[in-house]
Chain A
Amino acid sequence: MKKIIPLHTPFLAGAVALLLSSGSLQASSDNMHKLYQDNCASCHGSDHGGYLAPALNSETLKGRSPTALRSLIMTGSFETLMPPFYGRLSDNDIRSMVKHLQSTPKLDNPPWTIKDMQASLKVYVKDESKLPSKPTYQIDSMDDLIGVAARGKYGRGTGSKAVFINSKTHKIVGEIETGTAAHIIDFDPANERWAYVKTDTAEIFKVDLYSMQAVRSIKTGYNGPSMGVSRDGNYIMAGSFVPHNAVILNADLEPLKLFELEGVDPDGKMVTSDSGMIIGTPYADIFAIALENAGQVWVVDLKDGFPVTKIKNVGRHLHDAFLTHKGRKLMVASYDDSIVAAIDLEDRKIIKKLKAGCVPHVGGGAAVKVNGRTLGFGTNFGTCDNNTVVSVWDLDKMELVKQLPVSGGTESPAAHANAPYVAVDVITKDRRARTIQLIDKKSLEVVKTLDVGGHAYFPEYSADGQYLYVSAGYAGDEVVVYDSHSLKKVASVQMESPAGIFSRGRVKYMTRGLSPDEME
C-alpha cells in the first residue's frame, strides 16, 4: 500500500482560517513561507537564492508567465530532479505559491548558530557499547560496502535514504532513512564501523555500519553538501551555503567550533562565502575547506583552538577537489576561470593553476598510474565550443597532458587501479544524459559509450575494481552494475532517484584510481 503523506493539511487549515478572517495577507504569506520551506527549500534554497536548483525570487522570476510556472510545478520538469507536485499540493496552494515566489525577494541568510546545532542533536542509540562487535550481515570485507545517496522522488520522505550494498553480491545490506535527500556519504578512515551521511538540508547522521542504523544526528545548517572526516576519525567538519559557515564536530557530533566564511575574493572584494568542498587527508591532522565565493582555501589544524591558515587568490568560484601525493597535494576546481589549482597542504601554498575545460567540476576526482606517470582526470560541467572535454594532467609535473573530447558536460569521474577504464558521466540535458563514457587509461580516448537509462551519473568502482556502479537517477530509479572489464550489465538495484555513490574502498586508496600501495 502506498502511503500518501498529506503535507499540505496544515496549510488547508490555514487557508480556511484565512477565508474566515478576511484581510490577513500576512497569514497567507506566512503559510506560503512555510509551504516553501517544507517543499521547495531543500533544493531551491531556504533564502530563495537557489542551491541544487535555480533561485526562485521576485528578481529571477520577473516576467515569467504564472500559468507556465503553475504547470511546471504541477508536472515537474523532465530531465531534472524537479518532481511533479500535482496531487501533493492543492491547486490553490500552487497558485498562491507562484504569487509568493514572484513577490518574494531573495532573503537574507537566516542564522544557524552553535546553540541551534546543539538543540538539534538527536541520540538514537544511547549506549554505543551495546552495539554488535561485527557486521550483522554477510560481508567479506567492510571495504566491499558501497553507499548510495537515494534522494527520493521529492527530495524528502520515505524514499530518501542512504542505501548500503555489498558490492560482491550486489544485494542491499542496510538502509538508513534520512528524512530529506541524502547527498554525501563519508566513511571513517580509522574505524570501519562508522559512516556519516549528510542530507540536502544539512543534517548529518552518524551510522553504525555493523548494525545498519543511525546512532545520532545533528543539523549543521540549512543546506550545503560539504563534509569531511579527519584521518583519525575524531573530527567531522561540515560547511553550509545557508548560512555562510562551517563547523567542526567531534565523533559524537557535538559542535566544537564554528567558522564564519568570509574573505577578500581574487577581485579584491570582501565577501561572505558558500562552503565548497571540505576534505580530511591521510597526510596530516588537518581539514581543507574551499570558500566558494571568496576564492580561498583554508587549512584548519586539528589542535587547540583549531587555527586556520588562509590560502588566498586560489580562483573564482571554487567548488570541489581531490587529493594526490599521499594526500599532500590538493587539486581544487574553480568554476569561473576554468582552472584547477594545485595546492601543497604542507607548504600551504598554490603550486600551480592548471588549465581545465569549461566550468571544471572534478567530483571526487580520479587519478591513475600509467607508465610511471600519475595522471589526474578532471570532469567539466560546462560545454563550450570545440572544448567539451575531460582534462588529463600529469600530477607529478603538474602540467596539462590532454584535453580529451567527450560528448557533453561531465561531473564525476571514476577510476580504479584494477579497472581498464576511467568512467565519466555525461550530464548534458538530452539523450546524452542517459550515458556514461569510458576512457581507456592508456590511449586516453573514449572507447565506449554506455546507455544506462534514466539520468546516468556518479559512476563508482567497487573496492576490488571488478564492478562499475552507476546511478540511473531521476526517472530511472535504479543503480546499474557493470562488469568493469566486459562492461556487461550484471545487476540492477532498485531505489528512488539514486545519486552519489561512495565506495568504502575510497578510504584505502584516497582518490579513486590510485592503488592502496601508494598510500603506504
Chain B
Amino acid sequence: MNLRLLAAVLLTLMFSSATKAASIYAGKAKAAAVCAQCHGIRSTSAEAPFPPLAGRDEEYLEMALKQYRDKTRVSDIMNNIAGSLSDRDINNIASYYSRLKP
C-alpha cells in the first residue's frame, strides 16, 4: 500500500465511521454483481482465462482494484470495471473475497 493510499484510508477511517469495518455482506452483493461473472465466487470456470479471487490477500486485492481504477495498471477490461467502483465498494469486495475459502 503506498503512502497516499494509506493516508486516504486513514482519513476515511477517521471521518467516516460507516467505513470503519468493511461489510462482507455488501462485498458479497457487489462481487456477485460485478466480479463473479468472470472470476467466479470460489473458483473460476475451468475454461476461463481469469484468475480466481477467493482467498487472495485482502490488501493485494484492494491495491490491484485501485490501480486498475486509476489506470496505473492497464487492462482494457479491468480499467472500465474498476472505474465504476467506490473506495467503499473496493474495501467491501476485497474483504469478502479474501475471507472466502477457494
A84 at interface, CB cutoff 8 A: yes
Q: Compute the total of residue contacts between A and B using a CB distance below 8 Å.
A: 77
Known: A84-B37, A86-B38, A454-B32. A75 touches B77 (CB 8 A): yes
Q: In whole angstroms, how far apart are the Cα atoms of A74 and B44 in the complex? A: 16
**Which of these binds chain B: A1-9, A12-20, A198-206?**
A1-9
Residue interface bits B48-69, CB-to-A below 8 A is 1, else 0: 1110000000000000000000
Q: Chain A residues near B50: list those with CB within 8 A.
A: 84, 87
Mostly, the A contact residues are: loop
A157 at interface, CB cutoff 8 A: yes
**B44 near A2 (CB under 8 angstroms)?**
yes
B6 at interface, CB cutoff 8 A: no
Distance of A201 from chain B, by nearest CB (Å)? 16
Q: Which of A492-520 contact B (CB under 8 A)?
A: 494, 496-497
Q: In whole angstroms, how far apart are the Cα atoms of A43 and B47 in the complex? A: 17
Q: Chain B residues near A158: list those with CB within 8 A.
A: 46-47
**B49 near A153 (CB under 8 angstroms)?**
no
Q: Chain A residues near B37: list those with CB within 8 A.
A: 75-76, 78, 83-84, 475
Residue interface bits A466-500, CB-to-B below 8 A is 1, else 0: 00000000011110000000000000001011000
- Nearest A-chain residue to B44, judged by Cβ: A2
B36 at interface, CB cutoff 8 A: yes
**B41 near A2 (CB under 8 angstroms)?**
no
Q: In whole angstroms, how far apart are the Cα atoms of A5 and B42 in the complex? A: 21
- Nearest B-chain residue to A154, judged by Cβ: B47
**B47 near A5 (CB under 8 angstroms)?**
yes
B18 at interface, CB cutoff 8 A: no
Q: In whole angstroms, how far apart are the Cα atoms of A496 and B44 in the complex? A: 9
- Nearest B-chain residue to A80, judged by Cβ: B37
Nearest 3 CB-CB pairs, A to B? A153-B45, A87-B49, A157-B47
Residues on B facing A (Cβ under 8 Å): 32-33, 36-38, 40-50, 76-77, 81
Residues on A facing B (Cβ under 8 Å): 2-5, 74-76, 78, 83-84, 86-88, 91, 152-154, 156-159, 453-454, 475-478, 494, 496-497
